[in-house]
């Protein structure tokens, strides 16, 4: 019986665990763990601009989650409730579309992080 072919170097889904030109080492937390990844300069700049520490009280949480999505450590479709013996991933697809470039995917990750946690402006958090 032929073995399935597993392609490790799919050019569409980047491997951000090793250094490449025009990338920077960065650390972020997700789910209580710290990850070190090498993100493209333009993606890091985008996340820094999108989640400006001068404007948002929760910029670090947003940036961490966007980076976790971008590096495929997490998915916005995670099932949060405990279930009977199943895994934590749902069947919904997450990842970079083959027609999508890195920046488009970074924007989608930032939007997903914002939708999941919400954006809280500094000094503008209203108490109920």
Q: How confident is the model at residue 2 (pLDDT cuts 50, 70, 90)?
A: low
Q: How far apart are CA 97 and CA 22, in angstroms?
A: 22
Q: State the CB neighbour count (10 A cutoff) for residue 70.
A: 28
pTM assigned to the model: 0.77
Tokens at 62, concatenated: 């947003």
b/e for 40-54, b at 16 or more Cβ within 10 A?
beebbebbeebbeee
- pLDDT for 33 equals 96
Residue ranges per domain, the chain? 23-76+95-117
Give the distance between the most distant pair of CA atoms in the chain. 64
Q: How far apart are CA 84 and CA 26, in angstroms?
A: 36
Give the model confidence (pLDDT) of 36-75 as tens digits: 999 999 999 999 999 999 999 999 999 999 999 999 999 9
pLDDT of 84 higher than 50: no
Chain position carrying tokens 């080492």: 25
Give the model confidence (pLDDT) of 14-39 as tens digits: 789 999 999 999 999 999 999 999 99
Give the model confidence (pLDDT) of 105-120 as tens digits: 999 999 999 999 999 9
């Amino acid at each position: 019986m032929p073995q399935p072919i597993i392609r490790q170097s799919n050019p569409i889904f980047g491997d951000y665990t090793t250094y490449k030109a025009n990338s920077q080492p960065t650390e972020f937390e997700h789910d209580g763990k710290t990850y070190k990844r090498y993100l493209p300069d333009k993606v890091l700049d985008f996340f820094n601009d999108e989640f400006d520490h001068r404007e948002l009280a929760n910029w670090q949480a947003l940036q961490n989650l966007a980076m976790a999505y971008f590096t495929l450590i997490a998915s916005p479709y995670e099932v949060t409730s405990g279930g009977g013996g199943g895994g934590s991933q749902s069947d919904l697809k997450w990842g970079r579309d083959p027609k999508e470039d890195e920046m488009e995917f970074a924007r989608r990750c930032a939007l997903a992080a914002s939708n999941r946690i919400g954006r809280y402006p500094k000094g503008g958090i209203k108490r109920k």
